[in-house]
Amino acid sequence: MDPIRVITQNCVGCKLCVKSCPFEAIALTGPLVQGRTDRNTAVIDLGKCTLCGACVEACKRYNAIVITRRTFKGQDLSQYSGIAVFAEHRGGKVASVVPEIIGAARELAKQRSCTVSAVLVGKNARALTDELLSYGVDEVWMIDNTDIGDFDEDVQADLVTEILLEKKPEVFLGGGTVIGRSLLPRVAARILTGLTADCTELSIDPETQLLKQTRPAFGGNIMATILCQNHRPQMATVRHKVMTPAEKVASPQGKVVELSHIKVPKSKLQFLEFVEEKTATVNLVEADVIVSGGRGIKDPKNFDIIEKLALATGGAVGASRAAVDAGWIPYSHQVGQTGKTVKPTVYIACGISGAIQHLAGMKGSDMIIAINSDPNAPIFDVAHYGIVGDLFQVVPELIRRLETPG
Amino acid sequence: MKVFVCIKQVPDTTNVRINPETNTLVREGVQSIINPFDVYALEEGVRLKEKYGGTVTVITMGPPQASDALREAIALGADNAYLVSDRAFAGADTLATAYALACTVRKLGGADVILMGRQAIDGDTGQVGPGVAENLGISHITDIRKIEEIADSRIVVERLLEDGYARLATRLPVVLTVVKEINTPRLPSLKGKLAAKKAEIPILKASDVEADVERLGLNGSPTQVMKIFTPTRPSGGKKFTGEPAATVGALLEELTSAGISIRKSGK
């Protein structure tokens, strides 16, 4: 039996499902609607259908579309409780996404009346426990072992898996970082549970008590809310710079639970070296102000006015895909769907038209300022303030004003 | 060297626009393409073959029309291609997809290097690569910007991180996901185009790859989409037009009254 079916006798050929389908998978090409000669019933193209359920929702009145899912057997979900977060760290520093995930976890824990724990594995892990406790976690589940290298991601995935299997949290969250988005899929595939990538919103469904995981797809054109009903833990990676970081607590009450009985395996990965990227300005993802240049820059040597404005604002330099593809600036500066996602306090877009892929990477910025000669450029739709004008006149003027004291 | 490249056929989202009246996706005229990141993976696979010999096999899981993407892959230098297509795969999330692809690689005799893009531009998850590796019980490294060398079953790569890159080595076989910095893909050659036209693309069903149907498609997918919606679009803010001195002045005034300083020393 197909997982999604149209119940022909219920279908009235109203087309609501066709309109609701984000994937153009439905057409009114079935047998005639009962009692009519001018309308056909809906047919679903399984090749295009992703079983997202939008049509089922749209057809609530007639109940003509059903999705049948076999329920899983076996796992006793009642054994699982509490929320755990992956305490990513490197070079003796807790990743900046971690307080954000703990912040999100504490909000969820309030709704669910449960505890929040941090999963911490690594050499010198102990040195990081005070910081984690200060964010208000109830427990730090720790394996501190000199054999766990910062880049031994396979070993870390093994250990995290073992900890989750032993402690049985019902939710496990990690950062939507390079490491988080590599380690958590490995863990989820081993435990055989669900994982939602790069969530921008998390909440507890009041009725089912399940974790509602909302994320953008299609470059931010579509938002999807995802559930993991029958498997635990419900896992998600969380986009950096979206959640509010946990506030530090005055006197941390949490405790450290050592799990030294879990054996540390040998890594198959060999770390050779880490080369830090040295840019004239600050790290893009962490920057408070970002000045970005796009196609309107026209020439690589013109990029220096973007750099000058970045310097005047104390910010970092970003770029659109057009500027990177033209070879004007390295890929590491690219903001957008296929580059970095940023959320600075102020984002200044210079000569960027605002393709949807670019907007996907920066529209979460607190304030967006656009400078573009085309008054109809889509960037102005998302900008809080816009200047219509030639960037080669506007930007130098802005630099001059910023550099003038007072 | 046996290289596998996993690709995905996706709608070309660079052409996707929002209809401002209905707030829905305009998909008319939107073509299906090979996921752009996978094109870099394919190019890297072809380069490995050119350097070390061997074969490049491309696989994709998808509906029958996904064979177009496989033909294109052959035109771009792949030796052979398989379409993994079965109604049993419908509704697969990343876990079920990774399982099906891993079964396929195993059934086709295994690989030394499995390449794919860091993520697909429609789903944007990046979870299938690590999942395939886990299902095959081999290593994976994501976000590769360079394959330095392969010698005696040892591979040295550069992995892009937020603040730089790490040089790592591991033993083959391995799953690598690549970023676009890794190469500049070639255009299809005439010879490739001819090969693509003539190529036979076998279709593999769930039973052909000896997959456990319980782990496929909707049944094998722990995650379910509860709802899909279009995000609310911001309506745009204040726009200044005129001489630079006036527009910049007006902007700075607005910022000041909003209590925001973009001056370096003013922070």
Provide the pairing of β-strand A385-388 with B17-19: unpaired
Q: Which of A187-201, B25-39, B159-173 has the lowest mean pLDDT?
A: B25-39
Can you give the pLDDT at residue B18? 59
Q: Is A406 an interface residue toward B (CB < 8 Å)?
A: no
> Does position A220 have pLDDT exceeding 80, yes or no?
no
Q: Is B247 in the A-facing interface, judged by CB distances under 8 Å?
A: yes
Q: What's the whole-number mean pLDDT along residues B140-169?
A: 96
Q: Which CATH class is domain A77-258?
A: alpha beta
Residue B135 shares a structural domain with residue B195: yes
Structure tokens belonging to residue B62: 């998808």
Q: Do A179 and B127 touch (CB under 8 A)?
A: no
Contact B259, A400 (CB under 8 A): no
The B residues from 191 to 230 touching A (CB cutoff 8 Å) are 217-219, 221-230
ipTM: 0.89
* Same domain, residue pair B174 and B115: yes
Q: How far is CA A35 from CA A7, A11, A32, A41, in A?
A: 15, 11, 8, 12
Residue B143 domain-assigned (yes or no): yes
pLDDT-based confidence at residue B262 (cuts at 50, 70, 90): confident
In angstroms, the Cα distances linking A379 to A79, A358, A359, B237 are 49, 9, 8, 11
Mean pLDDT of B96-105: 97
Of A2 and A205, more confident = A205
CATH of residue B100's domain is 3.40.50.620
Boundaries of domain holding B181: 2-215
Lowest mean pLDDT among B6-10, B23-27, B137-141, B248-252: B23-27
Q: Which tokens in the block code for residue B92?
A: 């697969």
Q: By percentage, how much of chain B surpasses pLDDT 70?
A: 91
For B101: left if phi > 0, alpha if psi spans -120 to 50, otherwise beta; the answer is: alpha
Residue B117 sits in the same domain as residue B242? no
d(CA A3, CA B125): 23
pLDDT at A209: 95
pLDDT tens by residue, A54-66: 898 889 889 899 8
User: Quick one: pLDDT at residue B23?
Assistant: 52
pLDDT at A48: 79
B79 part of a folded domain: yes
- Residue B15 to residue A194: CA distance in whole angstroms: 31
Q: What is the predicted pLDDT for the residue at A343?
A: 85
Domain A4-67 CATH class label: alpha beta
Per-residue pLDDT for A375 more than 80?
yes
DSSP one-letter code for B182? G
**Domain identity same for B152 and B248:** no
Give the closest residue to A171 by CA, choosing from A73, A72, A77.
Answer: A77
**Confidence band (pLDDT; 50, 70, 90) for B234?**
low
pLDDT digits (tens, 9 = 90+) for A138-165: 999 999 999 999 999 999 999 999 999 9
**Are B150 and B182 within one domain?**
yes
* CA atoms B246, B252, B256, B259: torsion sign: positive
Look up tokens 């996993």; give the residue. Answer: B6
Which residues numbered 35-54 in A keep a CB inside 8 Å of some CB on B? 45-54
A77-258 matches A4-67 in CATH topology: no
pLDDT at A44 over 50: yes
pLDDT at residue number A89? 98
- pTM of the full structure: 0.83
- Residue B267: the pLDDT is 41
Q: What is the Cα–Cα distance from A11 to A63, expressed in whole angstroms?
A: 8
Q: Given CB atoms, is A283 within the 8 Å cutoff of chain B?
A: yes
Q: Tell me, what's the pLDDT at A217?
A: 80
In a domain, residue B163? The reply is yes
> In sequence order, which residues have a C-beta less than 8 Å from that of residue A340 and are 6 or more positions away?
A284, A285, A318, A334, A361, B162
pLDDT beyond 80 at A69: no
Q: What is d(CA A160, CA A264) in angstroms, rounded to the nearest whole number?
A: 11
Tell me: do B247 and B130 sit in the same domain: no
- Whether A23 has a pLDDT exceeding 90, the answer reads no
Closest chain B CA to residue A386: B239
The residues, any chain, with a CB within 8 Å of residue B50's CB and separated by 6 or more, are none
Whether B224 maps to a domain, the answer reads no
Same domain for B153 and B249, yes or no, is no
Question: Same domain, yes or no, for B264 and B144?
Answer: no
Query: Look-up: residue for tokens 């009346």?
Result: A113
Between B63 and A134, residue with greater pLDDT: A134
DSSP string computed for A205-227: -TTT-PEEEEEEEGGGTEEEEEE
Instruction: Please give the CATH superfamily to which domain A284-403 belongs.
Output: TPP-binding domain (3.40.50.1220)
In A168-211, alpha helices (H):
180-191
B227 found inside a domain: no
| Same domain membership, residue B194 and residue B96 | yes
Q: What percentage of chain A has pLDDT greater than the value 90?
A: 69
Best residue of B38, B163, B183, B240 to probe chain A, by most A CBs closer than 10 Å: B163
Distance from CA of A149 to the nearest CA of B (A): 12
Are B146 and B21 found together in one domain?
A: yes
pLDDT recorded at residue A360: 84
User: Quick one: pLDDT at residue B205?
Assistant: 96
Q: Considering its fold, how many domains does chain B have in total?
A: 2
Q: What are phi and psi of B2, to 5 degrees?
A: -100, 110
Contacts of A355 in chain B (CB under 8 A): 14
Q: What percent of chain B has pLDDT over 90?
A: 73
DSSP state, residue A110: H
Same domain for B98 and B134, yes or no, is yes
Kindly indicate the confidence band of residue A20, based on its pLDDT and cuts at 50, 70 and 90.
confident
In a domain, B226, yes or no: no
Contact by Cβ (8 Å): A94, A132: yes
How confident is the model at residue B266, as a pLDDT?
Answer: 46
Contact yes or no for B28/B73 (Cβ under 8 A)? no
Lowest mean pLDDT among A170-184, A295-309, B141-155: A295-309
Coil/strand/helix, residue A176: coil
Q: Are residues B136 and B209 in the same domain?
A: yes
Chain-chain contact of A221 with B163 (C-beta, under 8 angstroms): no
Flag whether pLDDT at B141 surpasses 80: yes
Which sequence spans correspond to the domains of chain A? 4-67, 77-258, 284-403
Sign of CA dihedral B199, B80, B90, A219: negative
The owner of tokens 């089912």 is A208
**Residue A317 — very low, low, confident or very high, per pLDDT cuts 50/70/90?**
very high
Is A362's Cβ below 8 Å from some Cβ in B? no
- Region A205-229: what's the mean pLDDT? 89
Mean pLDDT of the B166-189 span? 96
Which range, of A149-163, A276-290, B101-115, B116-130, averages the lowest pLDDT?
Answer: A276-290
